[in-house]
Amino acid sequence: METFGQRLHRAMAVRGPLCVGIDPHPELLARWGLPDDVEGLSRFAATVVEALGDVVAVAKPQSAFFERFGSAGIAVLESTIRQLRAAGVLVLLDVKRGDIGSTAAAYAAAYLDPASPLAVDAVTASPYLGVGALAPMFDLAAKHGGGVFVLALTSNPEGRAVQHARVSDGRTVAQMVIDEISQLNVGAEPIGSFGLVVGATVGDTGHELSRVNGSLLAPGLGVQGGRPEDLRSVFGQALSAVLPSYSREVLNSGPELSGLRASAERTLAKCRAVLSGPI
């Protein structure tokens, strides 16, 4: 069985280091001339799939913007996941789940069991009930060739108070998360299946990321203020592991397919220039 790390490494080599979020904000639907309802949601998602499904390495639907329409929105999410996977793009579902025991196992089954209608290649997860509480997600991902991206250093200002707090051995909470995920990836080739989420706007944090041996998802680029060149100061020696993530910066170029594709290609070129250059 091919691991998620292997699939991601190949996708980034073939299609380039770019993840595009599918975030149907109400404002974005309006910008595209679409109604803020399930029909608009469905048309928006289908357009993004058609434009970018065979272009980008990773697509990242934001579950919340589908969930807000209830069961009908979840049905659109299921359909979007199927369409993306049929197009050959890796699907990273942005759900940021995090719980304990049987509930964590249920979340794992919902997203990482191939039998689930919501099955994806990887999910985002929150470690703040303890990284060990995510074990059901790690275990099921390993069993079925999936991946998990765990929040480590987020760009929202509220996150710093928690993530930079110190544990008993002097490490920050974020560094503890980084180290535990690094342990899960030991010995994996070419990279492990467990990654971290590190915001592109956090600056030089002084945290050690070079031993993760997994992908480093970098949201916050584009409209949220992050620039490709900022990735150097954030990731340093770990730059080669970075997967830049854009959403509105690319999606604002819709709804025309040509506009979306051209925007993704321009964005990818900027990221390549930074990630392939000297550190």
The domain segmentation of the chain, as residue ranges, is 4-270
| Residue 21 or 225, more confident | 21
Single-letter amino acid, residue 199: G
Say whether pLDDT at 279 is over 90. Answer: no
Q: Rounded to an integer, what distance in angstroms lies between the CA atom of residue 81 and that of residue 163? A: 31
Cβ–Cβ under 8 Å, residues 94 and 62: yes
b/e code 84-104 from CB counts within 10 Å (16+ = b): bbebebbbbbbbbbbbeeeeb
Say whether pLDDT at 158 is over 70. Answer: yes
Residue with tokens 């719980």: 99
Query: What average pLDDT is seen over the chain?
Result: 96
Q: Rounded to an integer, what distance in angstroms lies between the CA atom of residue 59 and that of residue 161? A: 30
Q: Rounded to an integer, what distance in angstroms lies between the CA atom of residue 230 and that of residue 44? A: 30
| Residue 156 or 191, more confident | 191
Question: What letter would DSSP give residue 226?
Answer: B
Residue 44 in tokens = 């928006």
Give percent of the chain with pLDDT exceeding 90.
94
Say whether pLDDT at 278 is over 70. Answer: no
Q: Where are the alpha helices (DSSP H) in the chain?
A: 4-15, 26-31, 38-52, 63-67, 70-87, 101-112, 135-144, 159-163, 173-184, 230-235, 248-251, 257-275
> Is the C-alpha dihedral spanning 92, 96, 98, 104 positive or negative?
negative
Cβ–Cβ under 8 Å, residues 274 and 228: yes
Mean pLDDT along residues 97-123: 98
Q: What are phi and psi of 199, to 5 degrees?
A: -65, 140
Q: Rounded to an integer, what distance in angstroms lies between the CA atom of residue 181 and that of residue 185? A: 7
Cβ–Cβ under 8 Å, residues 216 and 238: yes
Q: Rounded to an integer, what distance in angstroms lies between the CA atom of residue 162 and that of residue 181? A: 18
Q: Tell me: the pLDDT tens digits for 112-150?
A: 999 999 999 999 999 999 999 999 999 999 999 999 999
pLDDT at residue 276 in the model: 85
Count of CA atoms in the C-beta half-sphere (13 A) of 113? 11
What is the distance, to the nearest Å, from the Cα of residue 50 to the centroid of all Cα atoms in its chain? Answer: 20
Say whether pLDDT at 205 is over 90. Answer: no
Q: Tell me: the pLDDT tens digits for 40-91?
A: 999 999 999 999 999 999 999 999 999 999 999 999 999 999 999 999 999 9
3-state DSSP helix/strand/coil percent for the chain, to nearest 5?
50, 15, 35
Confidence of residue 224 (pLDDT cuts 50, 70, 90): confident
Give percent of the chain with pLDDT exceeding 70.
99
User: CA torsion 102→197→12→210, rounded to 10°?
Assistant: -110
- Residues annotated as part of the active site: 96
SS3 135: helix
Domain covering 4-270, topology: TIM Barrel (3.20.20)
Say whether pLDDT at 239 is over 80. Answer: yes
Give helix 135-144 / helix 101-112 axis angle, nearest 10°: 30
